[in-house]
Amino acid sequence: MDSVDLVASQVRSIVRDQGIDPLREADAVRTVIDQVVKDLSVSSADGSAEGSARGSIDRARVAEDVMDLIAGFGPLQRYLDDPTVEEIWINSPSRVFIARDGRSELTSTVLTATMVRDLVERMLSTSGRRLDMSSPFVDAALPDGSRLHVAIPDITRSHWAVNLRKHVCKASQLSDLVRLGMMSGGVAQFLDAAVVSGLNVLVAGGTQAGKTTALNALLGSVPGRERVITCEETFELQLSDHPDWVALQTRQAGLEGTGHVSLRDLVREALRMRPTRLVVGEVRQQEALDLLVAMNSGMPSMASLHANSSREAITKLCTLPLLAGSNISADFVVPTVAGCVDLVVHLETAASGKRRVTEIVGLSGRVEQGVVELAPIFVTKHGSLVRSDGYPPHEHRFAQAGFDLGALLGNRAVA
């Protein structure tokens, strides 16, 4: 048994005897580890100064490795601690990948099937969610806000598929997106004014395009006097600085098949909680109808949506509400989308891995032959986001909020 295994065995015994929760009482675990390592000689037997120094380094390394095993997530912990790593995924125990700057790379980390199961069990222990043959998928949030998704056989071919998405680029304000190079200061000023003025905003883009990051930054512009209710499948949005914010997340059914709470349920309940700003983390299914109903009642709202362009985002939003039932028709949905959604902010990830806003369009409220009319406000030309000739709706709302829309939308390049 090597030093790490020996120390880990003793620490587990002490932690168990003292009733310490490793995931919630990390400081107490660290104290136990330090004491056990101190009592264990890992220095060189010759007692020389060089050997003592090497032993000191070894003790520090052993303590860190044991800490990762007991209170962290073992071999994955170093990637969780690395701020440059955006996502971690496991295709099989011997193929562990990470993503940096939008690009993936195969790591040298090799696990066992048992280690993968133990890691997932530990990650789920604080979420209240389960994973078994009757529920072979799970979405959960880790204590640090990272998002976990797991799929198990026989949904997968032979191995557990694990995705762990970190929040590396935490943005609480639009100025953070400017700093990250996702947009220019001019675009940020316009979007800030749009949010303060109460426009309904849809954030669109592909997977890992930065939709949640952008939505979170937009929420940073919501005035403190407003009551914000966010609805998500798993907690991702962070508005800890906002004085009046309630976060809701879905819940899967229990072992008896009851207790399921859908995103559509959350949107309905949120409307009973006196919100002045409603946010849906990501619209995927029938909840799109309830979001439109909220927007149509004058509730300023925001949401994100998977789509390859602003036009496709609107087309998708015109389609998803039809899933709510056969009594919902396009004759109702299309004009409702045209009249309720005010702005679409579209993001993309370049081949280099850089995330950027590539398009911002306004909706005039008009529909021609079943097609919603879009007014391009900012478009990408020659790799830069520039001012187009479109304008957002509700110019009077900008004026009421104290903004000069003409000054915000000067005809100049803004990126």
Give domain limits for the chain.
3-72, 77-165, 174-408
Residue 46, pLDDT score: 46
Query: Does domain 77-165 match CATH 3.30.160.270?
Result: no
Q: What is the pLDDT of residue 25?
A: 82
- 3-class secondary-structure state, position 11: helix
pLDDT of residue 289: 95
Tokens of 225: 């006097």
Burial bucket for residue 85 (CB in 10 Å: 0-12, 13-18, 19+) = buried
Task: Note whether 281 and 304 are within 8 A (CB).
Answer: yes
Residues 6+ positions from 260 with CB-CB distance below 8 Å: 251, 252, 253
User: Using a CB cutoff of 8 Å and minimum separation of 24, what contacts does 223-227 make?
Assistant: 223/196, 226/276, 226/277, 227/273, 227/274, 227/275, 227/276, 227/277
| Greatest Cα-to-Cα distance within the chain, rounded to the nearest angstrom | 88
pLDDT in tens, the chain (415 residues): 577 888 888 888 888 888 888 877 888 888 888 888 888 754 434 454 444 444 444 778 888 888 888 888 888 988 988 988 989 999 999 999 999 877 899 999 999 999 999 999 988 887 778 888 888 999 888 877 788 999 999 899 999 999 998 866 568 899 999 998 999 999 999 999 999 999 999 999 998 888 999 999 999 999 999 999 999 998 889 888 899 999 999 988 877 778 889 999 999 999 999 999 999 999 999 999 999 999 988 899 999 999 999 999 999 999 999 999 888 999 999 999 999 999 999 999 988 878 999 999 999 999 998 899 999 999 999 889 999 999 999 999 999 999 999 999 984 444 4
Q: Are 377 and 388 in contact (CB under 8 A)?
A: yes
The reported pLDDT for the residue numbered 42 is: 46
Q: What is the CATH code for 174-408? A: 3.40.50.300
